[in-house]
Structure 1
Amino acid sequence: MSIASLVDDWLTTHRDEVIGWRRHLHAHPELSNQERQTTEFLATVLRAHGLEPVLFPTTGLMVDIGPDTDQRIAFRADIDALPITEVTGLECSSLNPGVAHACGHDVHTTIVLALACALADADLPHGVRMLFQPAEEIVDGGAEDVIAWGGLEGVSSIFAVHVEPKLRVGRIGVRTGAITSATDIIELEVHGPGGHSSRPHLSADVIYALGALATQLPALLSRRVDPRSGTVLVFGQVDAGYAPNAIPETGRITGTLRTADHTTWRTFEPLLRELIGQVLAPTGCSYELTYHRGVPPVLNDDVATSLLAAAGRSGDPQAVVEAPQSSGGEDFSWYLERVPGAMARLGCWSGEGDRQDLHQGDLVVDENAIFVGARLFAAVIDEYCAVPEQRA
């Protein structure tokens, strides 16, 4: 019997139990690096199925299943939630005020948890590792911590999915190369002597300077980087001033800088400093730039992506579609800096009502996506073991 068939039978038998796990996780969301109850819940379920999870030093855990092979195949789930108020009205709505699984991490976690429990007693031909990673939602991401804790030791390939509410449940979006973007945060503080608004010529106008940055910096950047790189700079916050007739001495503007090109990402900070200096030079204002380097783009390996697509088609020849490249960031990219692998988009729209979006308090996920994801990962194991070069 194939691994996919074995897992499919287990999922059919344990469907209500699996849905119960997801609803428990959904009702008890925890923020990044605070996922203590989540970690305890996962460990309890895994141990109840005869597995021996290894807890990470802070939160999160991993568990190995199958033979102790030199090169394991890994599946990653992110377990943290967002500082968002849920407004779905579901019976399993968040019991933690101001915190919600509005990015579908409860679904990702349940997929990998169900896969682990389904395989607990299986005679696997190859070693498998399940990674339950904390803190995906913060800027640096928890993936680097998991790597430092040994999460990738002995791993030859790694896979993940991310729910996609724009895609109907049952569909699996794949893409070779960049499927997400590098995401950095920039904070600019602009300084000038300030003064009365009736005499702007006697001051350096911080408000004017912030306006110039907000409009000119994205435009200049678009002329200094390859337009095929998918680079976009957007400011989301401007803060300055205290009275309508006073030019303030300081102001602040913050935003995100994104690109799908790894090489371009490496050049951002010095280029940005050059352009900021050029924009502000005529204003007489000085500035301080705080540049928070985030995550690189998720660059799906071509062989791993082909394997993922083949696994998706094994259950439904029409399931696999091409995923668009996203400007969102994902710290799964740090794993792919070290081992080949791929991430897929997992359809979670029921087909009824409006298509929603991630990071919104009204996100509702079709729970059938859990079973599509677990079957997909099971088929990945079959495909991986069927091709010798995958295990080289």
Structure 2
Amino acid sequence: MIGQWHREIEDRLGSRIVSWRRYLHQRPELSFEEKHTPAFIAAELEKLGLEVRTGVGGGGVVGVLRGAGPGPTIALRADFDALPIQDEKDVEYASTVPGVMHACGHDGHTSSLLGVATLLSEQREKLRGSIVFLFQHAEEKPPGGAQAMIADGCLDGVDAVFGIHLATELPVGQIGLCDGTFMANVDAFTIHVEGKGGHAARPHESVDSIVIACELVGQLQQIVSRRVGPMHPAVVSVGKIQGGTAFNVIAGRTMLEGTVRTFDPQVRALIEQEVRIIAEGVARSSHASIRVDYMNGYPSLVNHSKETAIVREAVAGTLPDAAIVDLEKRMGAEDFAYYLQHKPGSFLYVGARGEDERTHYPHHHPRFDIDERALLQSAKVFLSIVGRYLTEPS
């Protein structure tokens, strides 16, 4: 049966899935600003006769497909927000929205899951249980959309939840799994330095906020090397410094933004403490006022062993041409972690790098693109999981 589903989604729905992806790619929407995309998703799901809820958690869409017989309920998740990046690809489906693009594959996630919903809506009589299709807004921007959707009941009655992320780090045909801890805690900080502006020729009459900001950057880099134990992975990165107005003016205000990535909750707390201690110390020694805004973002993503093993078994048994690779944990982050705090499940990667060099750019790059064969591969993996849970032995 599952093999037949795979053939059908490739033969009948492959071109439609690609078309959906390109349509969405041209119309990206930023986190918490999604309007057209969820409306488009809801309209497609309603055509299939699913039970559809919109505005879930503020911006999400949930579709429920009930099978002909009793059985478990599984949830499949796709995200649909874009990033504030200018699309630099020279392709016919490039973003038409200045400064906004799908640079992480969320358009592909959504299109693949719509294809799965379309096919399975025609197979209700063969399903023993239910499928909850989770289309999530705002994955890219903490606090994200997952928590709000969960609070709004999207996981009510769900027995297990699964998510897929397209990955250009893996070639098409590879499926990446990780049992246990997979992704990091992610935190963000903003440091506001308030000095005293003045003429660049008379620095002794000013308090130079840019010099102070540079000192902060140097000291922040010593947290991981000198305050965190060497056996505990951690990252502190400053990604933005903004200050000054002219070459001959000492800046009175400068702002820094950065991120912290950890796995251990004690290390997570330690780094926040150290950021604040450093800021206080530099403020005292430099006669400046420094304020730290620190935000705890997504928690570490931890896959459940049983469900990850089920995915491995389902893929190996139904996709003989797929190569399963075991992934090491990584410093990236995902708010899918929240779903896994509430329900057992697993989050996996599907290879999206092809032979064409345009598919070799990393995620969040202005020329990011995928090999669209990965869209069908993602759909097939989801179908294999559904078959493992909701069909009778054939």
TM, length-normalised to structure 1? 0.89
Q: Which runs of 4+ in 1 moved over 6 A?
A: none
- Map of 1:41 onto structure 2: 40
Counterpart Cα distance in 1 of 2:188 and 2:240: 12
- Map of 1:390 onto structure 2: none
- Map of 1:362 onto structure 2: 367
- Letter of the structure 1 residue corresponding to residue 377 of structure 2: V
Contact 2:74 2:130 in 1 (8 A): yes
More moved, 88-97 vs 356-365: 88-97
Q: How many residues align?
A: 386
Counterpart Cα distance in 1 of 2:154 and 2:326: 30
- Map of 1:166 onto structure 2: 169
Deviation at 1:7, TM superposition (A): 4.5
Counterpart Cα distance in 1 of 2:14 and 2:247: 62
- Map of 2:118 onto structure 1: 117
Counterpart Cα distance in 1 of 2:122 and 2:141: 36
Deviation at 1:102, TM superposition (A): 1.4
Does the alignment pair 1:144 with 2:143?
Answer: no
Counterpart Cα distance in 1 of 2:98 and 2:298: 29
Contact 1:11 1:118 in 2 (8 A): no
More moved, 211-220 vs 26-35: 26-35
| Identity fraction in percent | 33
Contact 2:76 2:134 in 1 (8 A): yes
Counterpart Cα distance in 2 of 1:241 and 1:95: 33
Deviation at 1:85, TM superposition (A): 2.1
Deviation at 1:188, TM superposition (A): 0.8
- Map of 1:350 onto structure 2: 354
Counterpart Cα distance in 2 of 1:194 and 1:35: 40
Counterpart Cα distance in 1 of 2:244 and 2:101: 34
Deviation at 1:357, TM superposition (A): 1.0
Counterpart Cα distance in 2 of 1:245 and 1:27: 43
Contact 2:236 2:260 in 1 (8 A): yes
**Tell me, which stretches of 5 or more residues in structure 2 are unaligned?**
none
Counterpart Cα distance in 1 of 2:151 and 2:171: 36
Deviation at 1:106, TM superposition (A): 0.8
Counterpart Cα distance in 1 of 2:254 and 2:5: 60
Contact 2:55 2:61 in 1 (8 A): yes
TM-aligned CA distance change 1:288 to 1:11, over 3 Å = same
TM-aligned CA distance change 1:347 to 1:18, over 3 Å = same
Q: Deviations over 1:43-99 (max 9, x none)?
A: 222222232322125433111113486852111100111222222222222232322
Contact 1:187 1:291 in 2 (8 A): yes
- Map of 2:4 onto structure 1: 5
Deviation at 1:263, TM superposition (A): 4.3
More moved, 252-261 vs 113-122: 252-261
Q: Deviations over 1:190-224 (max 9, x none)?
A: 23455666666666543332122101112134322
More moved, 251-260 vs 100-109: 251-260
SS of equivalent residue, structure 2 residue 64: strand
Equivalences for 1:1-392 in 2 at 5 Å? 1-2=1-2, 5-57=4-56, 58-67=58-67, 72-122=73-123, 123-193=126-196, 204-242=207-245, 247-314=250-317, 315-316=319-320, 319-353=323-357, 355-384=360-389
Counterpart Cα distance in 2 of 1:13 and 1:196: 69
Counterpart Cα distance in 2 of 1:284 and 1:18: 59
